[in-house]
């Protein structure tokens, strides 16, 4: 069997779970370019981006048994690539801040991260701050929906809740997050929802 013999993605995922390399190559060829493009939106260094791309597909191979054949592998690859990209950015930032402090350098313009990346991290921090104020169960549902791009049906299965409850939690949580930012950061409410939309962008790109 070669990559041309798979009927569809679900068929390839089934064989991938059995350790079939042709199935892995089928998924890799289908998504490697768009996953790489997504990584490059966060990580501007091509070498780092290529390393992350390999880590993402290594994670796919290592988790092949856990991945369900009825879910979107594109969404899974996006979540992993996003998380790994943000981890690299945070590591770079910490390393540069440490280096600056060690050398007693007050001018932070020597940081590798450019202003847009730092600004993005600040927005993420504000969103995290608002989400952390949600009750535990609502917080889980909100994160899975907004950060991990999981559908209500998937969240329902993941947390053992009804789909109606999940949708209700998402609606309530979105309202509470908006109210929190409006009260504490009134000038940033528009920025917040631009950020949330950004987190969901790949859902449309890969859908």
Query: Residue 29 maps to which CATH number?
Result: 1.10.1740.10
For residue 56 the two structure tokens come to 């993402």
68 φ/ψ angles, rounded to the nearest 5 degrees: -80, 145
Decide which of 55, 79, 111 is a domain's last residue.
111
Does pLDDT of 45 surpass 50?
yes
In this prediction, residue 103 carries a pLDDT of 61
Q: Are residues 128 and 195 in the same domain?
A: yes
Q: In 10 A of CB 163, how many CB atoms?
A: 14
pTM above 0.75, yes or no: no
pLDDT digits (tens, 9 = 90+) for 136-163: 888 788 888 877 778 889 888 888 889 8
Is there a contact between 156 and 166 (Cβ–Cβ < 8 Å)? yes
pLDDT digits (tens, 9 = 90+) for 1-37: 555 566 677 788 888 888 889 989 888 998 999 999 9
Is there a contact between 24 and 3 (Cβ–Cβ < 8 Å)? no
Q: Are residues 50 and 99 in the same domain?
A: yes
The candidate with the shortest Cα–Cα distance to 142, out of 178, 190, 89, 187, is 178
Q: Are residues 155 and 190 in the same domain?
A: yes
The candidate with the shortest Cα–Cα distance to 77, out of 127, 38, 19, is 38
């Amino acid at each position: 069997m070669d990559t041309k013999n798979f009927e569809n993605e679900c068929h390839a995922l089934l064989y991938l779970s059995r350790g079939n390399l042709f199935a892995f190559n089928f998924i890799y060829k289908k998504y490697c370019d768009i996953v790489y493009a997504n990584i490059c939106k966060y990580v501007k260094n091509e070498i780092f981006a290529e390393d992350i791309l390999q880590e993402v597909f290594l994670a796919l191979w290592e988790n092949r048994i856990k991945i369900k054949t009825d879910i979107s592998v594109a969404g899974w690859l996006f979540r992993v690539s996003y998380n790994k990209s943000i981890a690299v950015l945070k590591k770079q930032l910490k390393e540069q801040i440490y280096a600056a402090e060690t050398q007693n350098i007050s001018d932070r313009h020597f940081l590798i991260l450019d202003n847009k990346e730092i600004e993005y991290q600040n927005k993420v921090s504000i969103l995290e701050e608002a989400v952390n104020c949600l009750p535990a169960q609502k917080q889980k549902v909100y994160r899975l929906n907004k950060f991990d791009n999981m559908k209500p049906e998937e969240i329902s299965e993941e947390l053992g809740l009804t789909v109606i409850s999940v949708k209700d939690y998402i609606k309530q949580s979105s309202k509470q997050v908006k109210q929190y930012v409006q009260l504490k950061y009134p000038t940033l409410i528009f920025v917040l929802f631009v950020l949330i939309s950004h987190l969901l962008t790949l859902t449309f790109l890969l859908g």
